[in-house]
């Protein structure tokens, strides 16, 4: 199979305002079109944040939001009883909080949501869907907040307004006309509140399906699978306070300076308390090296804090051989907590046997890190028992991700570094409430306990058949088994793998529904009919019949906290996510439900009462979330209780070293974020920390790999991915020489998601393998 992407817009106006012939219908582009100008490339930064970070944050705020509005929002962001940041899920302090408890990403997220520009019916009357698709993802988002429900009718070229009641009638009619509920797919983004997520899963299961793909399927699903099998919980086991007591912090496959900048403040505090930091990553990211804290004199004026004590430049997806080498070195040093293992774990003997028969040389060759550097890391680990291991997408998005994370668990268990203060596992979640969605029941594989609670509390028989995850949903829509697609937030098309395949899947449906705050590419590649339902942002006042409402979220460390909006809504037409679910459920289910959906939409305390009766650990929910700072959900492994693990104890696992060898001419590519984006939201076109300004269609390559292909930095290349019998080509990416291991490459998503094959996924978790795509390069036509 082969298909080409990156249709050039050179013959088309790049601005819908620009004059130009319209004799030939414009195509609808599923991906961002090629960029008209080459980006400027300079030297990468050697530190994160500082005065430039403050400047960038203020620039985003004050160009999109009035100073008064910006100030009102920012002083309440991440404060107790304030607005929970809609960006990353890094937790706040359990104690006192800084007056400016936000980072550059938080400022960008607030500016994006509180945008003073409006995207209403006049805008959609002016531009056809095809014209809009010619624009970049950045341009689409800059058109402002959506203000009215809009419909793209069958065969129409433009969206037009539709009344809310008519929109719900249309969705309910399409859902109830399906031959089986399993022909419907209900996606959830990590921005959704706990209240909306709980109602959403209740409605979907009363409708009769478990087809609930969510953004976890594309990010930390591998973490959940790995941890559930080995320690008995699919979440991390540390608190924010543990970082102050850690002796060693290992950061694997993550870039905190760009993806969760507030983590840098935590790491700085850990360093001041004596912690050593080991960074394991293919790229030497600025945020891993030095942090200039804008809230301190040292950060602003004195050069900041050097964070990384040891950097291990691992090859893309080579986590297993690297971690196995470290475990082997710990065994050789007899750095084993045998008392902990005897009391708390099983399977150690099998691990020892495997490590002893594994030669070191192949492990070193596979991971690409020298024995000297690994020995330094092993020495740090051998003399520490308070170790925290943090990881993010760099570990979770390759075929062997689950096994790789379980090797992290092996290392922690060998040192007894889990289940006590200052130690444990810390998967760093990306989106603000992605963990809360799963806690509330958003999962295609519901637990028996969850189904029994739903049956008892709501008097219906919930479906038991395993539903579709993200990849299975795309396949179902592609082959006609998925006929209605509803997305509660997010930008599904741009977030998913294999963009052309996903676009065709969405276009095969009868109806696509997007609950959104801003325009994105998923609104342009649609089913036969499409709806955009505009919703309130987290910064906005949510006033219902019961008065002003608040919602709740769960951060990376299992803390549930309230979030209360304070800004005037962007439009009187906006409806909250919770109210949208209630109105849709009431219209769709009719007499088939015993739930008083209308009352739930009017008073969110009633929703939280249902959560308390249904979700373990949420007893007394309404009272506990009103405590300043919220409350921690139960977490047995955090306290050294592994009885919920399948073996009744923490479990060592043995994994073969995967074959990561590449055919001649091939490279292993990973996708990454730029500094000016959050997930698929593109705030700007710059990546300050990597020295790339004004463009995103770039590929970072080792200088020797460029020379081997008779290429130089600044050449344009076409990238072809290879998987089984499938090839996919993306045109015209600017090649940039960068300090990345040989035979490795990095590109930005969503631009490079088109290259991620739909069939290339992680074992057990089925997460798309965005961090290991086998590619080849060909020199592009260098002319524009």
Q: What's the pLDDT tens digit per position in 664-705?
A: 999 999 999 998 998 899 999 999 999 999 999 999 999 999
Cα distance between residue 638 and residue 643, in whole Å: 12
pLDDT of amino acid 296: 61
Is the pLDDT at 14 greater than 50? The verdict is: no
Is the pLDDT at 1 greater than 70? The verdict is: no
As a whole number, mean pLDDT of residues 328-342 equals 98
Its domain, for residue 693, covers 2-18+25-41+666-779
Among 68-77, 201-210, 364-373, 639-648, which stretch is predicted with the lowest mean pLDDT?
Answer: 68-77
Partnered with residue 324 across adjacent β-strands are none
Residue 125 lies in a domain: no
Query: What values do phi and psi take at 650, rounded to 5?
Result: -60, 145
pLDDT band at 431 (very low <50, low <70, confident <90, very high): confident
pLDDT of amino acid 49: 63
The 8-class DSSP code of residue 737 comes to E
pLDDT band at 429 (very low <50, low <70, confident <90, very high): confident
Cα distance between residue 578 and residue 567, in whole Å: 18
Partnered with residue 743 across adjacent β-strands are none
Residue 48 lies in a domain: no
As a whole number, mean pLDDT of residues 385-390 equals 97
Nearest-5° Cα angle at 118, 117 to 121: 155
pLDDT of amino acid 286: 83
pLDDT of amino acid 322: 98
- We report the CATH number of the domain holding residue 410 as 3.40.228.10
* pTM (predicted TM-score): 0.94
Q: Out of 427, 445, 461, pick the residue that ends a domain.
A: 427
Measured in whole angstroms, the distance separating CA 509 from the mean position of its chain's CA atoms is 25
Examine the domain organization and report whether 458 and 418 are in the same domain: no
Is the pLDDT at 66 greater than 80? The verdict is: no
Examine the domain organization and report whether 586 and 442 are in the same domain: yes
Examine the domain organization and report whether 273 and 155 are in the same domain: no
Examine the domain organization and report whether 324 and 384 are in the same domain: yes
Residue 56 lies in a domain: no
Place of tokens 């960038």: 56
pLDDT band at 104 (very low <50, low <70, confident <90, very high): confident
Examine the domain organization and report whether 612 and 718 are in the same domain: no
Examine the domain organization and report whether 245 and 359 are in the same domain: yes
Q: What's the pLDDT tens digit per position in 582-593?
A: 999 999 999 999
Structure tokens belonging to residue 617: 């650990």
pLDDT band at 297 (very low <50, low <70, confident <90, very high): very low
Is the pLDDT at 516 greater than 80? The verdict is: yes
Cα distance between residue 655 and residue 406, in whole Å: 9
Q: Out of 397, 427, 457, pick the residue that ends a domain.
A: 427
Cα distance between residue 85 and residue 415, in whole Å: 35
Structure tokens belonging to residue 701: 């390559």
pLDDT of amino acid 275: 97
Examine the domain organization and report whether 324 and 444 are in the same domain: no
pLDDT of amino acid 293: 67
User: Which distant-in-sequence residues (6+ apart) come within 8 Å of 352 by Cβ?
Assistant: 331
Counting residues of the chain whose pLDDT is more than 70, the rounded percentage is 93
Is the pLDDT at 161 greater than 50? The verdict is: yes
Partnered with residue 670 across adjacent β-strands are 746
Q: What's the pLDDT tens digit per position in 199-239?
A: 999 999 999 999 999 999 999 999 999 999 999 999 999 99
Residue 742 lies in a domain: yes
pLDDT of amino acid 344: 98
Determine the angle formed by the axes of helices 604-614 and 448-458, rounding to 10 degrees: 130
Cα distance between residue 344 and residue 435, in whole Å: 27
Examine the domain organization and report whether 567 and 595 are in the same domain: yes
Residue 360 lies in a domain: yes
Residue 115 lies in a domain: no
Residue 34 lies in a domain: yes
User: Which distant-in-sequence residues (6+ apart) come within 8 Å of 501 by Cβ?
Assistant: 474, 478, 758
Examine the domain organization and report whether 177 and 232 are in the same domain: no
pLDDT band at 52 (very low <50, low <70, confident <90, very high): low
pLDDT of amino acid 436: 93
Cα distance between residue 507 and residue 525, in whole Å: 7
Is the pLDDT at 110 greater than 80? The verdict is: yes
Q: How many domains does the structure of the chain reveal?
A: 3
pLDDT band at 21 (very low <50, low <70, confident <90, very high): very low
For 65, other C-beta atoms within 10 Å of its C-beta total 24
CB 118 within 8 A of CB 572: no
Query: What values do phi and psi take at 683, rounded to 5?
Result: -75, -30
pLDDT of amino acid 19: 38
For 296, other C-beta atoms within 10 Å of its C-beta total 15
Residue 116 lies in a domain: no
Q: Out of 631, 657, 678, pick the residue that ends a domain.
A: 631
- We report the CATH number of the domain holding residue 742 as 2.40.40.20
pLDDT of amino acid 261: 83
Nearest residue to 439 (alpha-carbon basis) of 89, 102, 87:
89
Partnered with residue 687 across adjacent β-strands are 692
pLDDT of amino acid 17: 45
For 691, other C-beta atoms within 10 Å of its C-beta total 17
As a whole number, mean pLDDT of residues 354-383 equals 98
Examine the domain organization and report whether 674 and 619 are in the same domain: no
Examine the domain organization and report whether 573 and 511 are in the same domain: yes
Q: What is the DSSP string of 280-337?
A: E-SS--HHHHEEE-TTSHHHHHS--EE--SEEE-PPTT-HHHHHHHHHHHHHHTT---
Nearest-5° Cα angle at 460, 459 to 466: 140
Determine the angle formed by the axes of helices 577-589 and 164-176, rounding to 10 degrees: 50
Q: What's the pLDDT tens digit per position in 232-260?
A: 999 999 999 999 999 999 999 998 888 77
Is the pLDDT at 763 greater than 60? The verdict is: yes
Is the pLDDT at 24 greater than 80? The verdict is: no
Tell me how long the chain is: 784
- We report the CATH number of the domain holding residue 523 as 3.40.50.740
Cα distance between residue 118 and residue 124, in whole Å: 11
Determine the angle formed by the axes of helices 194-207 and 604-614, rounding to 10 degrees: 70
Nearest-5° Cα angle at 482, 478 to 488: 105
Cα distance between residue 456 and residue 465, in whole Å: 19
Cα distance between residue 57 and residue 70, in whole Å: 11
Examine the domain organization and report whether 440 and 486 are in the same domain: yes
């Amino acid at each position: 199979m082969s298909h080409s992407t990156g249709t050039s817009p050179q013959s088309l106006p790049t601005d819908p305002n620009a004059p130009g012939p319209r004799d030939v219908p414009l195509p609808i582009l599923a991906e961002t079109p090629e960029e008209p100008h080459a980006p400027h490339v300079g030297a990468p930064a050697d530190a994160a944040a500082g005065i430039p970070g403050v400047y960038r944050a203020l620039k985003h705020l004050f160009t999109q939001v009035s100073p008064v509005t910006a100030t009102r929002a920012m002083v309440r962001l991440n404060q107790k009883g304030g607005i929970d940041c809609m960006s990353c899920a890094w937790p706040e302090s359990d104690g006192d909080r800084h007056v400016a408890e936000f980072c550059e990403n938080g400022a960008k997220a607030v500016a994006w949501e509180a945008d003073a520009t409006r995207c209403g019916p006049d805008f959609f009357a002016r531009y056809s869907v095809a014209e809009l698709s010619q624009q970049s993802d950045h341009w689409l988002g800059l058109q402002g907040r959506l203000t009215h429900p809009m419909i793209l009718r069958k065969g129409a070229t433009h969206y037009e307004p539709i009344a809310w009641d008519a929109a719900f009638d249309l969705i309910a009619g399409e859902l109830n006309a399906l031959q089986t509920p399993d022909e419907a797919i209900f996606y959830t983004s990590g921005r959704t509140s706990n209240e909306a997520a709980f109602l959403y899963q209740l409605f979907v299961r009363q409708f009769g399906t478990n087809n609930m793909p969510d953004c976890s399927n594309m990010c930390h699903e591998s973490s959940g699978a790995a941890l559930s099998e080995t320690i008995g919980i699919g979440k991390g086991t540390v608190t924010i306070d543990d970082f102050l007591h850690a002796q060693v912090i290992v950061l694997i496959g993550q870039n905190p300076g760009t993806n969760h900048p507030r983590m840098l403040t935590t790491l700085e505090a850990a360093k001041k308390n004596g912690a050593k930091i080991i960074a394991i990553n293919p790229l030497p990211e600025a945020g891993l090296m030095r942090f200039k804290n804008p809230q301190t004199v040292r950060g602003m004026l004195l050069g900041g804090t050097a964070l990384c004590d040891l950097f291990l430049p691992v090859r893309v997806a080579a986590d297993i051989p690297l971690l196995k080498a470290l475990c082997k070195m710990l065994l050789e040093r007899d750095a084993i907590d045998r008392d902990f293992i005897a009391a708390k774990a099983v399977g150690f003997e099998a691990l020892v046997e495997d490590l002893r028969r594994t030669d070191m040389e192949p492990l070193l060759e596979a991971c690409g890190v020298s024995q000297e550097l690994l020995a330094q890391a092993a020495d740090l680990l051998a003399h520490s028992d308070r170790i925290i291991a943090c990881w993010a997408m760099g570990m979770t998005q390759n075929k062997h991700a689950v096994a790789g994370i379980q090797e992290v668990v092996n290392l922690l268990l060998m040192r007894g570094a889990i289940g006590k203060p200052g130690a444990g596992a810390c998967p760093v979640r990306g989106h603000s409430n992605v963990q809360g969605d799963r806690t509330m029941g958003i999962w295609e594989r519901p637990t028996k306990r969850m189904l029994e609670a739903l049956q008892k509390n709501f008097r219906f028989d919930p479906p038991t058949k395993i539903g579709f995850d993200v990849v299975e949903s795309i396949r179902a829509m592609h082959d006609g088994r998925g006929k209605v697609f509803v997305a509660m937030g997010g930008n599904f098309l741009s977030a998913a793998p294999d963009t052309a395949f996903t676009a065709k899947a969405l276009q095969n449906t009868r109806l696509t529904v997007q609950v959104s705050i801003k325009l994105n590419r998923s609104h342009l590649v649609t089913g036969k009919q499409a709806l955009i339902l505009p919703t309130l942002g987290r910064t906005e006042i949510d006033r219902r019949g019961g008065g002003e409402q608040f919602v709740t979220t769960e951060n990376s460390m299992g803390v549930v906290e309230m979030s209360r909006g304070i800004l005037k809504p962007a439009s009187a037409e906006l409806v909250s996510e919770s109210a949208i679910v209630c109105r849709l459920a009431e219209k769709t289910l009719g007499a088939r439900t015993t739930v008083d959906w209308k009352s739930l939409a009017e008073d969110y305390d009633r929703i939280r009462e249902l959560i308390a009766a249904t979700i373990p650990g949420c007893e007394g929910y309404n009272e506990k979330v009103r405590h300043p700072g919220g409350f921690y959900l139960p977490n047995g492994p955090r306290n050294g209780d592994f009885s919920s693990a399948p073996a009744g104890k923490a479990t060592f696992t043995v994994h073969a070293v995967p074959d990561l060898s590449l055919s001649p001419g091939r490279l292993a590519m990973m996708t990454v974020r730029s500094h000016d984006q959050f997930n698929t939201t593109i705030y700007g076109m710059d990546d300050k920390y990597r020295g790339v300004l004004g463009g995103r269609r770039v590929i970072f390559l080792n200088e020797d790999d460029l020379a081997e292909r008779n290429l130089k930095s600044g050449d344009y290349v076409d990238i072809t991915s290879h998987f089984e019998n499938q090839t996919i080509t993306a045109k015209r990416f600017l090649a940039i020489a960068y300090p990345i291991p040989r035979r490795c490459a990095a590109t930005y998503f969503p631009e490079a998601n088109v290259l991620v094959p739909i069939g290339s996924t992680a074992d057990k978790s089925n997460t798309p393998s965005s961090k290991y795509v086998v590619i080849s390069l060909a020199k592009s036509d260098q002319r524009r």
